[in-house]
Homo-oligomer: A and B are copies of this chain.
């Protein structure tokens, strides 16, 4: 009877619909992520989100207070997801050069496969970060990747492969900016450069180039 768990789609009458796939709350979050990502904060409407979630407007206010509250949770979720992904993978030990390449590969791959991460961050930046500062656990959002890079750089410098005094945060930003921008601005790039930047070949080329740039900026010649 699952009477206390709102199901998505249809009234959960007497015994029917017992195999619930997603809770209403989760459905709304998923729909909201998709809508905010596709249309931005203003462009995504409460009504369309609730409809896409096969629920009704009222439920958004019930679970999230208002549109802003919903957006904040969406933001938190995709950032959590990113951090979890960063934490999950293992990088080659004892081979700093390879490990650094793996970090680059991970980041490029993640952005390529999760473009909604990028559009949501862009949306938040358009609004000057006003929501993320309201987030309850924004502090814990510092990227695990920076720590990983720091360790790799230290290892590399220890064995005389990498230069000393290279800051992990700079390398992190270098990797992130080049990877992020290439996805974020793909439409205007394609229009202005006059050629598709998102073909498999083009992406591979950019990946290789970025890897080369990053390694040249840390290695000792």
Interface residues, chain A, with chain B CB atoms under 8 Å away: 39-43, 79, 119, 121-126, 128-129, 132-133, 138-139, 141-143, 169-170, 173-174, 176-178, 180-182, 184-194, 206, 209, 212-213, 216-217, 221
4 closest A-B pairs (Cβ-Cβ)? A129-B187, A177-B181, A42-B42, A221-B221
Q: Determine which residue in A138, A178, A187, A209 has the highest number of CB atoms from chain B within 10 A of its CB, and name it.
A: A187
Q: Which residue of B lies closest to A186 (CB)?
A: B125
Interface of chain A, main secondary structure: helix
Docked-complex contact B132 and A122, CB < 8 angstroms: no
Could you say which residues of chain B place their CB within 8 Å of the CB of A177? 177-178, 180-182
Residues of B within 8 A of A119 (CB): 126
How close is A209's CB to chain B, nearest CB, in angstroms?
A: 5
